[in-house]
Amino acid sequence: MQMKQSLARGLLNEFKLRKFGFSHKQLDQFYQSQWQSGTRSIWYLLYRWMWACFFISVFIVSLVLQLSAGKFFIFLTNWGLMACMLSQLSGAILATRWHFNSGGTRKDIMEARTLKEPPPTPRLVKFYWLVHGAALSLALIITTVYWIFLHGKMDKPNRYPTISFITHCLNSVFMLVDFWIVAFPLRLLHIIYWMMFPIIYYIFTVFYYLAGGTDEYGHHYVYPILDWTNPKRAATTFAGVFVLYLIYGVALFAISKLKRYLSRTVNAMDSPHAIGLI
């Protein structure tokens, strides 16, 4: 019951004008894990760089294998891969700054927690917050659309099945695990910013089609469900993606509240004051 009430209050609190922004009072949440017990964690730092190196490696390998005279950049899957890479790299940089107190980052943020007016949110933190949410939601969209509508239905061979599996399946798995690990909150109104990825991409596919662009096999479309010779089907795809964004956004918000509730419960049980509750 308490958790349901907390979720309901949190949901109502999301629909405020300031929630469109990227300012946050508890800046330490962007540098730490939801589950670490101390101020610093070498394991979280290693975890952050492990993910960053993984996505950088996958991006480089994918780029080398699938560049195809620049055709690599016409696919939404690869846009999603780049978003994952940027989110993990920026997260690793922030964790490194925190762990080693680079430029007094940790000291300043911890001191600011006692102030009524906390300092402005750093630009890298805002970027990380934005790109992490965009990468997570886009990964889920890519995985869903690919396995339901595209897998085995595209008129071209799957030359690199391992890379395809990583970028169409494991991308979502990795980002969901990371979402469970990080401490910063998810804001429902940020879904509007996440949707800019498909909006920009769909506009790109229209102009790419009108300019006579093709994929690496000469097809006049990037994806068959975005074949603009059939505008009705392409528009339906466009609408369907936005519905998925709303569904996944609400689901991720609920998961975010759940993990914060569980984290507080675990911390309370570990506290010496919880002995009398056993």
pLDDT in tens, 122-159: 999 999 999 999 999 999 999 999 999 999 888 888 88
Mean pLDDT of all residues in 256-278: 68
HSE toward the beta carbon, residue 248, CA cutoff 13 A: 26
CA dist., res. 34 & res. 262, Å (int): 10
Which of the four pLDDT bands, split at 50, 70 and 90, describes residue 278?
A: very low
Cβ atoms 135, 87 nearer than 8 A: yes
What rounded mean pLDDT belongs to the chain? Answer: 90
- pLDDT tens, residue by residue, 82-128: 999 999 999 999 999 999 999 899 988 888 877 767 778 999 999 99
Beta-bridge partner residues of 182: 33
Res. 275: pLDDT tops 50 = no
Reported as a single tens digit per residue, the pLDDT across 211-244 is: 999 998 899 999 999 999 999 999 999 999 999 9
Residue 89 has a pLDDT of 98
pTM: 0.90
Angle at 271 between CA 259 and CA 3, to 5 degrees: 30
Percent of the chain at pLDDT > 70 equals 92
**pLDDT bucket at 1, cuts 50 / 70 / 90:** low
Per the model's pLDDT, the better-predicted residue between 192 and 4 turns out to be: 192
Kindly report the three-state secondary structure assignment for every residue of 174-205. Answer: HHHHHHHHECCCCCHHHHHHHCHHHHHHHHHH
Burial class (CB in 10 A: 0-12, 13-18, 19+), 42: exposed
Write the pLDDT tens digit of every residue in 37-91: 889 999 999 999 999 999 999 999 999 999 988 899 999 999 999 999 999 999 9
Residue 7 or residue 177, greater confidence: 177
Integer angstrom CA distances of residue 91 from 61, 83, 99 = 22, 12, 12
pLDDT higher than threshold 70 for residue 8: no
